[in-house]
Amino acid sequence: MQDRTRVRAEAERLTALFEETGAVPFRTSILQPAETLLDLYGEDIRARAYVTRDPSAGEMMLRPDFTAPLVQAHLAGRGGITRYTYVGEVFRMQDGGGSGRPIEYLQVGLELFPTDDPAAAEAEVFATISRALQGLNLRAAMGDIGLLQAAVSGLSTSPARRAALLRHLWRPRRFRALLERFSGRTDTLEHRVKLLKKLETASVSDVMAEAAPMIGIRSGAEIENRITALKQDAQTPPISPEEVALIDDLLAIQAAPADALERLRDLAVDMPAIEPAVACVSARFAALDALDIDVSAALFEGSYGRTSLEYYDGFVFGFYAENRPDLSPVATGGRYDALTRALGQEVAAVGGVIRPALVLEVQG
């Protein structure tokens, strides 16, 4: 077990570095209202969070991160503050027993709310965290969720299918299953296949009448609407093999930033919907270069960030220990404008966190 005094000292070092950039310390309670976090992150967070109930405050959650309460405080008015830092414990349940990963750990963060140049802010957060970790044997990985969002939004298919794919960007297996079904390749759910076959010769109301007694909390009207939606979806032409191949090519990118940008520009010729997102990637690399940050050894991945919390909607990055694949990322971050929008007012927002205990672990 690590010496808590050393971990706390490393956290103070990192916090001081962030404060030197002009970041203002932010503090918030360990117990957070669960309703807000569940609304933002979905019920998936419940499986990894510690939830309790207070007679006066309702359902509460041990703080899974700082970002949501910080955004709420910022939007409520913080006197023109545009950058923050924080330090404190966060709590996450770990999958399975014996993983060895902590359920409580210290986190130090830097959050920026730029008012003019988003690419410069992204570069600054990445550069500041990179310099804070200087001297460690870490590799950097990066990506951009906005690329995949733009690619899906540009597909020649129904709005319902695009919405379903966008909803499951952060669930790669579910996303793949939907893409396979929408392209006409396969449908893995036997009962849905049988239902659609029956609907070829029977009406929705006839199928409902033949069904077994209703079980569960859905009303008859809700079930009928769902069957109708499935029938309508089945009549939608499949997504073309060419468009599926372009999505696959985007997700398969794993290259140095300069090479990745060249491949993205090539893809944009056949997938014009991603052109604005590719321009953002290009501007970000230029901003990093202006800060003298060499990212030639970093890996840009088209699928990077898809297993993170769902509020990232643009630039995403992480720093990993080269010789310790068993460790979680030492630092992560990205753009999360979508989270501010969900909380009532869309503003540019980008940030990152470092885990001081992992910094010490890598140092040895």
Are 218 and 261 within one domain? no
Q: Are residues 28 and 98 in the same domain?
A: yes
| Residue-wise pLDDT tens digits, 300-316 | 999 999 876 667 889 99
Residues 6 and 108 in one domain: yes
Counting the structural domains of the chain, the total is: 3
Residue 179 lies in a domain: no
Do 192 and 73 belong together in one domain? no
Q: Is the dihedral of CA 81, 87, 93, 95 positive or negative?
A: positive
Q: Distance between CA atoms of 110 and 21, rounded to whole angstroms?
A: 10
Residue 180, in any domain of the structure: no
Q: At 165, is the secondary structure helix, strand, or coil?
A: helix
Please check whether residues 311 and 345 belong to one and the same domain: no
Contact 307, 344 (CB under 8 A): no
Asked whether residue 22 is assigned to any structural domain, the reply reads: yes
Residue 178, burial from CB neighbour count under 10 angstroms (0-12, 13-18, 19+): middle
For residue 58, what pLDDT is reported?
Answer: 83
300 and 348: one domain?
A: no
Q: Are residues 72 and 26 in the same domain?
A: yes
Q: Residue 361: which residues within 8 A CB-CB, separation 6 or more?
A: 2, 321, 324, 327
Tell me the average confidence (pLDDT) per consecutive run of 10 residues in the chain, 364 residues long. 86 97 94 80 68 84 90 84 94 66 90 92 97 94 96 95 92 92 68 55 58 56 64 78 97 97 98 97 97 95 84 92 90 93 90 96 87
Give residue 215's domain range.
185-237
Give yes or no: residues 124 and 219 share one domain. Answer: no
47 and 152 inside one domain: no
What's the CATH code of the domain at 99?
3.30.930.10
Q: Would you state the pLDDT for residue 39? A: 73
Q: What is the pLDDT of residue 189?
A: 47
Asked if residue 71 is part of any domain, the answer here is yes
- Say if 30 falls within a structural domain: yes
Q: Are residues 207 and 301 in the same domain?
A: no
Q: At what angle do helices 190-198 and 220-234 cross, to 10 degrees?
A: 80
Q: Report the pLDDT value the prediction gives residue 274, as an integer from 0 to 100.
A: 98
For residue 148, the model assigns a pLDDT of: 97
What is the pLDDT at residue 195?
Answer: 53
Specify the pLDDT at position 100.
62
Are 307 and 328 in a shared domain? no
Residue 177 resides in a domain: no
pLDDT tens per residue, range 268-284: 999 999 999 999 999 99
For residue range 217-250, what is the model confidence (pLDDT) as tens digits?
Answer: 555 566 656 666 666 667 688 999 999 999 999 9
Does 282 fall in a domain?
A: yes
Q: Is the CB of residue 235 less than 8 Å from the CB of residue 199?
A: no
8 and 92: one domain? yes
